[in-house]
Amino acid sequence: MALSFSNEIKNELLRLEYNDDSERVALLAGLVRMDGTILIAARQQISLQLVSENAAVARLAFSWLKELFHVEATVTIQRRTRLKKNVLYVVNVPSQTRMQALLNSLGMVDQDGLPFRPEIAAELTSSDSLRRAYLRGVFLGSGSMTDPHRSYHLEIVTQSEEYATNLIALIENYNIYPRMSYRKESIIVYLKESEQISDFLALIGAYEAVMELENTRIQKNMRNQVNRLVNCETANMNKSINAAQRQIQNIRLIAEHMGLERLPESLRQAAEVRLNHPEESLKDLGQLLDPPVGKSGMNHRMRRLEEMAEQLQPMEDDLEQGKGDVS
């Protein structure tokens, strides 16, 4: 089964390597902020649960939680047959002594210990590399992108308007300007311009996705350019056909009411080659004359014939009127 473009991006991000644990903490903080839930049971027993539809994302969260914070954690699989995406991977971190330190490090609680602070912890985004890692985790948690062959749309789904506003402010540090919309109970932070999407993907380190997006954009631009050229050529062809038909009508009107033999030699030759070659362009018709003339010279002669036809048109109208009276 072919991967969606969103999963291709996430798989690329998951392959990145880190030398600094603070970047791994920042990424994990963004991921948990999107996919995590703080559960409070009796006697203030606090546990953390992270749910993802991507097995590799869940595996990374599980391994990094254990490596970086030395907490106990488990992974379970939930199957939901009624849903299109029927497999969920659940990382559970049960209540334990290190829980409060974990939540503090991930920026999940405020100074009073209340869960899900709406602001983004400054210590998690204090440098360029940390900001990029945090946004990488946010996209891994709730980001998605449509196939660029169809349309350009990248979005991050959040549940807090205040957090969405803070997330937009963080991204705007890089001259990328997302918009915000509402979908049922969710707040959507999104980008629709291909250049802005490309900049965001580069920001979080998805360079292979950037190349694919740019290639797709070039292909689309080339197709659009070809379509425009074809449309212009078709329009010009139709214009030439209509002009040729009008010229032939003018020449036949002249032939009927005064005869082509009464025309000056240059106009008679032009009229005859047009009647004999109705499909040719003015440039090609000019080459059939003796001596040959250019397109402008042929065009001038056709205008002369049109002026003569216009002078003869009242006579044609009178004849048509006379036929009507007789009938």
* Residue 195 pLDDT greater than 60, yes or no: yes
Mean pLDDT to the nearest integer, 318-324? 57
Would you place residue 327 in the very low, low, confident or very high pLDDT band (cuts 50, 70, 90)?
Answer: very low
Report whether 197 contacts 152 (CB < 8 A).
yes
How many Cα atoms within 13 Å fall on the side-chain side of residue 107? 22
Query: For 5-205, CATH number?
Result: 3.10.28.10
Among the listed residues 97, 121, 124, the one whose alpha carbon sits nearest the alpha carbon of residue 111: 121
Tell me the sheet residues that pair with 47.
Answer: 39
Tell me, what's the pLDDT at 316?
Answer: 59
* Residue 1 pLDDT greater than 50, yes or no: no
Tell me, what's the pLDDT at 326?
Answer: 47
Percent of the chain with pLDDT over 70: 91
Backbone φ and ψ for 103, nearest 5 degrees, come out as -65, -40
**Pairwise CA distance, residues 52 & 58, whole Å:** 6
Mean pLDDT to the nearest integer, 1-7? 75
* Residue 90 pLDDT greater than 80, yes or no: yes
Q: Over the stretch 236-258, which tens digit does the pLDDT of each residue have?
A: 777 878 888 888 888 888 888 88
Would you place residue 235 in the very low, low, confident or very high pLDDT band (cuts 50, 70, 90)?
Answer: confident
Would you place residue 119 in the very low, low, confident or very high pLDDT band (cuts 50, 70, 90)?
Answer: confident
For the record, the structure tokens of 145 come out as 């992108």
Tell me the sheet residues that pair with 189.
Answer: 156, 180
What is the value of pTM for the model shown? 0.69
User: In sequence order, what E strands does the chain have?
Assistant: 36-40, 46-52, 74-79, 87-93, 143-145, 154-158, 179-183, 186-191
How many Cα atoms within 13 Å fall on the side-chain side of residue 174? 22
Residues forming CATH 3.10.28.10 domain(s) in the chain: 5-205
* Residue 112 pLDDT greater than 70, yes or no: no
Mean pLDDT to the nearest integer, 189-211? 93
Helix %, strand %, coil % for the chain, to 5? 60, 15, 25
Tell me, what's the pLDDT at 64?
Answer: 95
